[in-house]
Amino acid sequence: MSYLPKTNQIGYKMKVPADKERTSRKIFEVQARLYDPQGLSSPFILKGRLIFRKAKEGTKELDLPFSKDVAEEWNSWIGELRNKLERLIFDRCLQSMMGKVKKQTLHLFTNTSSSAMAGVGYLRTEYTNEEVTM
């Protein structure tokens, strides 16, 4: 995670490894580089954790090469990190300077499955000049 001072936004700068090592340890190393205390990149982190879980099925060893189907998921995930994560940018300030706030509502959604649980929230702000931000 990094701060972009010119636009007052936060985003991600990450060097995704180009090596050919296909082990559970490598998945773990890549995940450890995804510093995200606010949980903004959770969809990317969750996918990596699910791949790690699948790679570890039936073994405690971290340095064994994983199966072909896990390798396909790994390649897809690495591609997403390279192509999508750095385009994920958020405004640092939740409230715009559009005028006086008329009403604010906080919207929260959650979901669970047998693989994971997740939640998302957003703040909807209405201003006296009829502008709305989320």
Within a domain: residue 31?
Answer: yes
Q: Are both 15 and 52 inside the same structural domain?
A: yes
Q: Which percentage of the chain shows pLDDT scores above 70?
A: 95
Residues 6+ apart with CB under 8 A from 121: 106, 107, 108, 109
Q: Are both 9 and 28 inside the same structural domain?
A: yes
Higher pLDDT, 50 or 22: 50
Residues 6+ apart with CB under 8 A from 77: 44, 47, 48, 51
What are the strands of the beta sheet with 101-112, ordered from one edge? 101-112, 117-127, 132-133
Q: What is the pLDDT of residues 97-110, one digit of tens each?
A: 677 889 999 999 99
Instruction: Quote the pLDDT of residue 94.
Output: 65
CA distance 3 to 40: 13
| Total domain count, the chain | 2
Q: What is the pLDDT of residues 65-90, one digit of tens each?
A: 888 888 889 888 888 888 888 888 88
Instruction: Quote the pLDDT of residue 19.
Output: 61
Within a domain: residue 74?
Answer: yes
The two beta strands, 9-11 and 90-91, are antiparallel
Instruction: Quote the pLDDT of residue 106.
Output: 95
Q: CB count, 10 Å around CB of 12?
A: 20
Query: Residues 108-120: what's their mean pLDDT?
Result: 88
Within a domain: residue 78?
Answer: yes
Q: What residues pair up with 121 in beta bridges, in sequence order?
A: 108
- Rounded to the nearest integer, the mean pLDDT of the chain is 84
What is the span of the domain harbouring residue 11?
Answer: 2-91
Q: pTM, whole model, 2 decimals?
A: 0.71
Instruction: Quote the pLDDT of residue 103.
Output: 93
Q: Would you state the structure tokens that stand for residue 18, as one six-digit string? A: 């180009």
